[in-house]
Structure 1
Amino acid sequence: MNPLRIGVFLSPHRDNALLTANAQAAESSGFDFAAIQDHPYVPDFLDPYVLISHLAAQTRTLRFLTDVTNLPLRPAPMLAKTAASIDLLSGGRFDLGLGGGRSWPQIAGLGGPAWTPGETVNAIDEAITVLRTMWRPNSTATFPGKTYTLDGAATGPAPAHLVGIWLGASGPRMLDLLGRRADGWIAPLATPFETKPAAQDAIDAAARAAGRAPEDVRRVIQLVGSVTDSTRPADRPRSGPGSRPLRANPDQWARIIAEFVTEERFDTVNLVPELEQPEQISRFGDEVIPEARRLVADRLRAL
C-alpha cells in the first residue's frame, strides 16, 4: 500500500492573513498537503493557482493540490504551462486535481462550454494527453483532438517533478478513464459513502485491464468535520452523504482514519474542516495525525 498522506482543504476566500496562517499551521503540525478548490464563478473566491503560488512562498514543505481544477474554464495547453510553472517555483510541491466541471450555467456565464457527459470524459482524456505531452520539453507536439488541438506546439517547461494528475470522478466512464490513465482518485464529497467501495473496484478493474497495478492510483477520502472533546461514540460513516460532518475526539478520528485506510483502501485523507481556523487545523495535526499513522502502521503489520 502507498504511504499514508493527510491533507487539509482550504477555501480560497479573500482573507489572506487567515489563509496564510492556516497553511502555516498545517505545515507545522504535520499535514502533507493543502487542497484548494477551483470555482472561478464564485465572486469572493481567489484564483486557486495564484493563491497556491502565494502560499507555496509562505511555506517550505507543504504540498499543494487543486481540488479540483475546473477544466472547462482552463484550456489544457495553458493549464500545462500554469501547473509546470507552479511546480517549478514551489520546488516540486504541486499536484493537479482535475475535474470536468459542474454548475454549467455559471461556467457558460464566463464564456465556457456546456459539455455533455460524453464530451466531458473525452475532454479529460485529451487533457491528460496534452498535459503530459506539454510537460516533455524541447520538442514540438501535434495532437488532433476533438476538444484540444496542438499543431506544432513548442513544449515545456518541464515541471520540477512528475506532477500527479488526480481526478475527481464518480461515473462509470470517468472511473474507467481514471483507472487507465490517472495518478489518483479524489472521491467527491457529493457521493454517498456506500458507493465508494464499488468505485474502488471499478478503478482497480480498469487499472488491471490497462496493465497497471491498482496501487498506481492513489485514493483520497474527503472527510468533513471537527476535532472535539466529545466522549460520545463516533464511528466510521458507511452510508449517507459524503459531506455529512464528523465530530469526534482525536482518538476517534485516528481510529476512523485507520479504518478507511485498512478496510476501504484509501491511502490519502483530506480533512475538510467545518471551521477553517489555525487552532482547529493545528489540533488535528498535533493530536490526530500521529496517532492515525501509528494505528495504520500497526494494522498493516497485523495483516
Structure 2
Amino acid sequence: MGDLGHELWFGVGPEPRTDGAARLVDVAVLAEEAGLDLVALQDHPYQPRHLDALTALGQIGARTRRIRLLPDVVNLPLRPPQVLAKAVASLDVMTGGRVELGLGAGFFWDAVASYGGSRRSPKEAVDAVAEALDVIRLLWTPGGPVSYDGAHYRLDGARPGPFPAHPMGIWVGAYRPRLLEVTGAKADGWIPSKGYVTREELPRLGRIVDEAARGRPIRKAFNVSGSFDPHGTGWFEGPPDLWAEQLAELVLDVGMSVFVLGTSDERQIKVFAAEVAPRVRELVAAERRAPAPPVAAVIDDASRPRSAKRDVASLSPRQREIGNRLVLIHDHLRQELARIGDAVEQVAQGRAEAAAVRSMINDLTMRQNYWTLGGFCASYCRVLTAHHSIEDAHMFPGLVAAEASLAPVIRRLEEEHEVIAEILTGLDADLVAMVTDPSGLDEVRRRVATLTEALLSHLAYEEEELVEPLSRLELDV
C-alpha cells in the first residue's frame, strides 16, 4: 500500500544519557523551537548509562508546549502493561494530549533477565505483545471493572483509568512476520529502525502490516540515522535534498508518515527541521494535491439522523448553562475559522505568508482535538448521578452510555469529524504547495470555503443534537 494520507511528522531521538540530563531537555526544547513535531526516547531500563525514558519524557513535557512525546520503544518485558497503561495515560493528561506509545517485544534477553524480566521465546514475546495491547486498551476504555485472563498478563476486576487526553496511538517495533501481523491487526502504528531493516525490505514488511490491518490506515514511523554529507549518494548519507527525496519516497511508496532522526547534534537537528522536513512536505503535497470536493459531497444535512429532544426552556438554569458551554467552545472555533479566512486574504494581498496560515490551521486542529472535533474526541466530561461515583470519560462515550438512542447521531458526528480532518489536511497540503507555486492561491481559497461551509454546518448540527442531552443529563463539557 502506498501513501496513506497521514499528516507528516518529523522528530528527533536523542540518546537519554545519564551524564547528559540537562542537555537532553535542551535538545528537546531546541527541536520544538526548530519546528519539529516529536521527541522520542529509547527505553532500555537495564542500561546504566540511560535515564528512565518515561521520567525523562515527563521532564521534557514540562519544559515544552507543543512537541509530541514518544517512548521509542517501551521494553515490554520490564514494564507490565497494567502499570504502563496508567503511566503513559497520566503523562498524556499532564502534557495536554501529546504522547504516543511505542511498544517493543524485548530483544536483549540476558539484560532483561538480569533485571528479573522473563526470558521469552519468539512466540512468547509476540503473544505477550498481543496480550499487552488488549490489556492497555481495556484500561483506557471508560466503564466498569474489567478482567482479562492471558498467558502472560491478567486483570481481575481492575478499574480502568486514568484515560489518555487524546486517542493515543500504540506503535509497535516489529520486523518478523508474526509480530508484523499482530501490529497490523491490533496496533495503531508500526515503527521500525534503519539499523535493523534494509531499504529493500521496508516495502515487503510494510505490506505484511497493511494486509493484517484489513484497510485500517496504520501509522508508519521510521527511526532514521545518517549524515548530511554534501557529497554523499547513499541511503540517508547525502545532502538534505537527497534525504528529502528518499523520505518522500517512503511516504508515497511505503506509507511512512513519521520520521525520527536519531541525534543530539544541534546542527543536524536544524538541518533536518529547516531543510529536510519542509522539502519532504513540498514533494508529498505535490503528489497529494487534489481539488477541494464540493460541499454537498462532504456534509449532507438531509441524511443526518435526528434524535427526539425536550424543550431546553423546561430545564433549570444550571442545566442550560452546562449545554451552553458547548456553544461557547464552538464560538471560539468559529472565531478561529474567520481568522483563517482573513489570513488567506492577507496572503493574497501580499501582507502575510502561507506559513502564518499553516500555523493558524495547526492551532485550530489542536483545539479540535481538545474539543471533540476532527475525529479525535478528547474533551473530558463528568457523568453525575446520585447512585454512581464521578468518573472521567470522553464526551461521546459518556453520552451514548447515558442515552443509547443517541448512538446514530454520535456515529454521524464522528464520521463528519473525519471528513473535516481530511479537509484540514488538504488545506495544509495546498498551503505547503503554495510556498513554491503562488498560483495555488485560488485552490487554497476554495479549500477554505469548503472548510468554512462544512465546519459551520457541522457545529450547528452538533449543537442542535447535543446541547439538550448534555444539559438534561448534566454531562459537564
Give the structure with the higher percent helix. 2
Q: Are the equivalent residues in 1 in contact too, given 2:171–2:189 (CA < 8 A)?
A: yes
Matched to 1:4, the amino acid is L
From the two aligned structures, give the one with the greater strand fraction. Answer: 1
* Correspondence for 1:145: 150
Q: Which residue of 1 aligns with 2:44?
A: 39
Q: CA deviation at 1:138?
A: 4.9
Secondary structure at 1:94's aligned position in 2?
coil
Distance in 2 between residues matched to 1:252 and 1:192, nearest whole Å: 17
Partner AA of 1:278 in structure 2: E
Structure 2 CA distance, aligned partners of 1:288 and 1:37?
A: 23
Match of 2:262 in 1: 272
Summarize deviations over 1:63-119 as a string: whole Å, max 9, x none: 011110000000110111101111011110001100110110110000000111111
> Which residue does the alignment assign to 2:12?
8
1:108 partner letter: A
Q: TM-score, normalised by structure 1?
A: 0.90
Alignment RMSD (CA, Å): 1.5
CA distance in 2, matches of 1:193, 1:284: 20
Structure-2 residue corresponding to 1:286: 274
- Answer whether contact 1:139 1:155 (CA < 8 A) is retained: yes
Corresponding letter in the other structure for 2:48: P
| Contact 2:203/2:253 (8 A) holds in 1 | no
Q: Which amino acid aligns with 2:17?
A: H
Structure 1 SS opposite 2:87: helix
CA contact (8 A) 2:91 2:99 kept: yes
SS in 2 for 1:106: helix
Instruction: Report the counterpart of residue 30 of structure 1 in structure 2.
Output: 35
C-alpha distance in 2, partners of 1:283/1:112?
Answer: 40
CA distance in 2, matches of 1:226, 1:90: 32
Partner of 2:407: none
Q: Find the aligned partners of 1:53 and 1:99 in 2 and give their Cα distance.
A: 20
The counterpart of 1:199, out of the listed 192, 199, 205, is 205
Deviations 1:121-169 (A, max 9, x none): 1111110111011112452111111101101111111111111100000
Secondary structure at 2:200's aligned position in 1?
helix
1:156-235 superposed matches below 5 A? 156-188=161-193, 189-208=195-214, 212-213=215-216, 215=217, 217-228=218-229, 230=230, 232-235=231-234
> Aligned pair 1:57/2:56, yes or no?
no
Distance (Å, rounded) in 1 between the aligned partners of 2:208 and 2:247 = 22
Task: Please state if 1:253 is matched with 2:240.
Answer: no
Aligned position for 1:103: 108
Deviation at 1:233, TM superposition (A): 5.0
Distance across 1 between alignment mates of 2:179 and 2:60:
31
> In structure 1, what is the Cα distance between the partners aligned to 2:72 and 2:54?
11
Secondary structure of 1:280 counterpart: helix
CA deviation string 1:35-61 (max 9, x = no partner)? 110001110100000000000111000
2:223 alignment partner, SS class:
strand
The alignment of Structure 1 onto Structure 2 pairs a total of residues equal to 284
CA distance in structure 1 between the partners assigned to 2:232 and 2:129 by the alignment: 42
Contact 1:227 1:284 in 2 (8 A): no
Offset, 1:224: 0.6
Letter in 1 for 2:141: R
Q: Secondary structure at the match of 2:227?
A: strand
Helix, strand or coil at the partner of 1:248: coil
Matched-pair contact (CA < 8 Å) for 1:30–1:289: no
Following the alignment from structure 1 to structure 2, what is the Cα–Cα distance between the partners of residues 130 and 186? 20
What secondary structure sits across from 2:49 in the alignment? coil
Q: Which has the higher contact order (CA 8 A, sep 6+)?
A: 1
Following superposition, the deviation at residue 25 of structure 1 comes to 1.2
> 1:243 — aligned with what?
none
Tell me which moved more, 105-114 or 249-258.
249-258
2:79 to 74, 77, 81: 74
Inter-partner Cα distance in structure 2 for 1:258 and 1:234: 16
What residue number does 2:377 align with? none
CA distance in 1 between counterparts of 2:74 and 2:269 reads: 24
**CA distance, structure 2, for counterparts of residue 139 and residue 52 of structure 1:** 30
Contact 2:169 2:188 (C-alpha < 8 Å) held by counterparts: yes
Gaps of 5+ in 2: 291-477
- Give me the whole-angstrom Cα distance separating, in 2, the residues matched to 1:266 and 1:154: 36
Runs of 5+ in structure 1 lacking a partner?
Answer: 238-245
After TM superposition, which residue ranges in structure 1, 4 or more long, deviate above 3 angstroms? none
Distance (whole Å) between structure 2 residues aligned to residue 281 and residue 137 of structure 1:
39
Structure 2 Cα separation of the partners of residues 77 and 118 of structure 1: 21
Change (3 A) 1:233 1:102: closer
| CA deviation map 1:232-257 (0-9, x unaligned) | 2525x3xxxxxxxx332222222221
State the alpha-carbon separation in 2 of the partners of residues 227 and 18 from structure 1: 22
Counterpart Cα distance in 2 of 1:225 and 1:191: 14
